Amino acid sequence: MTIEIIAELAQGFEGNPSQAKLLMKAAAYSGANAAKYQMVFADELATPDYKYFALFKSLEMADDVWHGLASYAKELNIQLQLDIFGTKSLSLAEQVGAYAIKLHGTDIANIGLLNEVASSGIGKVLLGAGGAYLDELEQALSILSNKEVVILVGFQGYPTANQDNQISRITLLIQHFSNKYPNVSVGFADHALPESTLRYALASVAIGAGATVLEKHLTLGKVMQLEDHESALNPDEFLEFTNTIKDCARALGASVLTENFGMTDSEQRYRKMIRRHVVASSDITSGTQLSTSHLSLKRTSSETVFTDLSLVYHKKLKREVKMNTAISPEDI
């Protein structure tokens, strides 16, 4: 099973280009597949009288900074992904060659922006589903039917209580949309508190529910209390997170509905090792038609044996077999 891990850098760059580069370097060195920032332009998010307008303004960076981050992402071999909030950020994301863009839950019903995204050259869209209703998701997916879409379940609750994650929604959405929208997959935006025992485990539960994309906040250092640090891991912790999740994905595997479920070679060897041999439970004379009363399963030193009783039942013995002797193909 292939899992994509997004290092959610959000607003942690604080409008500082050098800080933005450090965050991307941390993401790449921590094993993430993608580094994602919020590309903020204040006038796309709020009116000047809004209480956080000045904060949004302080997060703005020049176009050439974003182009530089795109180049740095290629150098580090990590995907650049960007949250966009309007026409300007969408256009710039397309110009810098962002691998994917994310539409926040605030824009789940923003029909104008959804149509602009659908008409853009962006191929992959992350659709924030926190707080989204089913009919809103249906509408957004119908508009974005020409894109590869990942529905991201989860929201930032400062903190998000365990029961509020509703990870079971991942399975529901997969079942509901898989046939209608083959271009759609489902992921999980993980906002477990860094101090929680679930800081690594929660995402593994999401994998078990069917998530193939995981978004997790990364900060340069929690003690610095940078923007969006509340549910973020330090780089060393994020590396442990990515290693844990990749191991969980390997453990989940890729079973198939065939006779052996696509067992690994190791499990096939285990099966062969644990299967006991069909042996005579008493002395059996030649010509006897074998039944349950004649046979049992035991480990023996024999090499040519049966391990499946059904292959021996109702067969006739060609020769006498002594008690505790393995039945061989030559005996029937």
Collapsing DSSP to helix, strand or coil, 125 comes out as strand
**Terminal-to-terminal C-alpha distance of the chain:** 45
pLDDT tens-digit series, residues 53-104? 999 999 999 999 999 999 999 999 999 999 999 999 999 999 999 999 999 9
State mean pLDDT over 120-126.
Answer: 98
For 262-310, the pLDDT digits (tens) are 999 999 999 989 999 999 999 999 999 999 999 999 999 999 999 999 9
CB 98 within 8 A of CB 74: no
Burial pattern 9-26, b for ≥16 Cβ within 10 A else e, equals bbbbbebbeebbbbbbbb
Q: Say how far apart CA 118 and CA 111 lie, in whole Å.
A: 10
pTM summary value: 0.88
- What is the three-class DSSP state of 112? helix
Structural domains for the chain = 4-252 (3.20.20.70), 265-331 (3.90.1210.10)
Tokens of 36: 């994602």
Distance between CA atoms of 207 and 1, rounded to whole angstroms?
A: 9
What whole-number distance in Å separates Cα of residue 253 and Cα of residue 250?
A: 5
